[in-house]
Structure 1
Amino acid sequence: MRTYGLVVFIFCSITWAHAQHAFRGIVDKDRWQNNVYLSVIEDYRKLSGVFSEQIISRQRPDSLGNFLFTGNQLDTENRIYRIHVDNCNDAEQGQNHYDGHCNDSKEILFIAKGNDTINFPFSFDNQMFCTVSSGNPKADAFVQIDSLKEIMKYDYGEFRSEANRKLNNRKWFKTLQDFGKSLNEPLAELYIYAFLSERGNNFHQYYLEDLKTNPYYSNLLKRLKDAYPNSAYTQQYANELKADQYSIQSNSSFTNRSWSIVWLICTISILLNIILLFKLLKKKQNSQLELTSLLTKQEQNILDLLLQDKSNKDIAEALFVSLSTVKTHVNNIYKKLNVQSRTETKELFNR
Structure 2
Amino acid sequence: MLLVSASVWAQTNTPAKAEIRGKILLDSIWNPVVYLSHIPTFYDMFTMSNSMIIAESPLDEEGNFHFSTSFLPEKDNLYRLHISKKGAPAASLIIGGKDENHLYFIANNRSDIFISNTSTAIPVSTFKVEGYRPNDDLRSINEIVASGDNLETPSVSKDFLSRTINEKLRIMADTSSHPIVSLYALHQSNFEATYLENQVFIENYLKKWEDEESTYFQSIRTRFMQEKRSNLYIYIIIGIVFFMMGIVIQQYIFRRRKRNRTQLQTLSIQERKIFQLIQAGRSNKEISEEYNIGLSTVKSHVSNIYTKLNIKSRKEAIDF
Hey, what's the Cα distance between the residues in 1 that align with 2:14 and 2:218?
Answer: 30
Q: How many residues align?
A: 271
Indicate the residue corresponding to 1:321 in structure 2: none
Q: Using the alignment, how far apart are the partners of 1:14 and 1:42 within structure 2?
A: 31
Change (3 A) 1:224 1:139: farther
Which of these residues, 69, 72, 79, is aligned with residue 70 of structure 2? 72
The separation in 2 between residues aligned to 1:65 and 1:310, in whole angstroms, is 110
Contact kept, 8 Å, 1:34 with 1:87, in 2: the verdict is no
Residues 25 and 118 in structure 2, CA contact (< 8 A), matched pair in contact too: yes
- Asked if structure 2 preserves the Cα contact closer than 8 Å seen for 1:14 and 1:117, the reply is no
- Asked whether the equivalents of residues 114 and 129 of structure 2 are also in contact (C-alpha less than 8 Å), the reply is no
- Matched residues, percent identical? 17
Unmatched tracts of structure 2, length 5 or more: 1-12, 272-289, 307-320
Distance apart, 1:343 and its partner CA: 6.7
Gap runs ≥5 in structure 1: 1-12, 198-202, 289-306, 312-340
Q: Which amino acid in structure 1 is aligned with residue 202 of structure 2? A: Y
Alpha carbons 2:20, 2:69 under 8 Å: kept: no
Residue 210 in structure 1 maps to residue 197 in structure 2? yes
Match in the other structure for 1:120:
115
Equivalent residue for 1:141?
Answer: 137
| Matching residue within 149, 157, 167 for 1:174 | 167
1:252 match: 235
Larger Rg: 1
Please report how far the alpha carbon of residue 247 of structure 1 lies from its aligned counterpart in structure 2 after TM superposition. 1.1
**Shift in alpha-carbon separation, 1:349–1:14, aligned structure 2, 3 A:** farther
Matches within 5 A, 1:293-308: none
Q: Which residue of 2 aligns with 1:43?
A: 41
Secondary structure of 1:63's aligned partner: coil
Shift of 1:195: 2.8
Which residue does the alignment assign to 2:189? Answer: 196
Q: Which residue of 2 aligns with 1:21?
A: 18
Q: Which runs of 4+ in 1 moved over 6 A?
A: 126-132
Alpha carbons 2:81, 2:103 under 8 Å: kept: yes
Q: What CA distance in whole angstroms lies between the structure 1 residues aligned with 2:69 and 2:305?
A: 101
Counterpart-to-counterpart distance in 1, 2:262 and 2:246? 24
Of structures 1 and 2, the one scoring higher in RCO (CA 8 A, sep 6+) is 1
Residues 1:253 and 1:208: Cα distance change in structure 2 (over 3 Å):
same
TM-superposed CA distance for 1:88, in Å, is 4.5
| Distance change in 2, residues 1:342/1:138 (3 Å) | closer
Given that 2:39 and 2:52 are in contact with CA atoms closer than 8 Å, whether structure 1 keeps it comes out as: yes
After TM superposition, the score normalised by the length of structure 1 is 0.66
Change in 2 beyond 3 A, CA 1:342/1:107: closer
Q: CA RMSD in A?
A: 3.5
Distance (whole Å) between structure 2 residues aligned to residue 271 and residue 25 of structure 1: 80
Q: Is 1:273 equivalent to 2:294 in the alignment? A: no
CA distance in 2, matches of 1:187, 1:221: 13
Q: Tell me how far apart the structure 2 counterparts of residues 29 and 347 of structure 1 sit (CA, whole Å).
A: 94
Evaluate the alpha carbon distance shift between residue 62 and residue 49 of structure 1 in structure 2; reply closer, same or farther with a 3 A threshold: farther
Which SS does the other structure have where 1:158 is aligned?
coil
Of 84, 87, 100, 1:86 maps to 84
Contact 2:26-2:123 within 8 A present in 1 as well = no
- Inter-partner Cα distance in structure 2 for 1:119 and 1:349: 97
TM-score, with structure 2 as normaliser: 0.71
